[in-house]
Amino acid sequence: MKKVKQQGRKRRHMHIRRKVKGTSQRPRVVVFRSNRHIYAQVVDDSAGRVLTGVSSLSPAFKELSVKGDKKAAAEAVGKLLAQELKKRGIGRVVFDRAGFAYHGRVMALAQAVRKEGLEF
């Protein structure tokens, strides 16, 4: 059962990736969620490199000491990511949900990034 779900997500992700490309002016924000944690990376596909990343395991997140559920952690990761992108002078990004449903933690992260002033 688990393998079938993973294969479905990978198939959806490849379908999304055909259309979503990150550039140096507008990089791609990729979200991955596990059962316990959430990860977000900013990728410049034209250069083939990761610009930055934040997760619920990163030291900056640990300093916040977020209380609550996994959705609150996703919001905090979104805020941290937006702050990191603002430091780098990036105001517009492309959102890649990586085959996950735009619901729950993925949506919370995206809304937190938007609330901080980034545009997608």
* Ordered per-residue pLDDT tens for the chain, 120 residues: 778 888 988 888 888 888 888 888 899 999 999 999 999 999 999 999 999 999 999 999 999 888 889 999 999 999 999 999 999 999 999 999 999 999 999 999 999 999 999 998
The ranges assigned to domains in the chain are 2-115
| Summary count for the chain: helices (H), strands (E) | 4, 4
Q: Distances in Å between the alpha carbon of 12 and those of 2, 6, 41?
A: 16, 10, 18
Model-level pTM? 0.88
Which amino acid, residue 2? K
Tokens of 30: 């990729």
Question: pLDDT value at position 67?
Answer: 85
Class of domain 2-115: alpha beta
Helix-helix angle 70-87:105-115, to 10 degrees: 40
Q: Give the whole-angstrom CA distance, residue 66 versus residue 85.
A: 21
Question: pLDDT value at position 66?
Answer: 86
Question: pLDDT value at position 78?
Answer: 96
DSSP 119: B
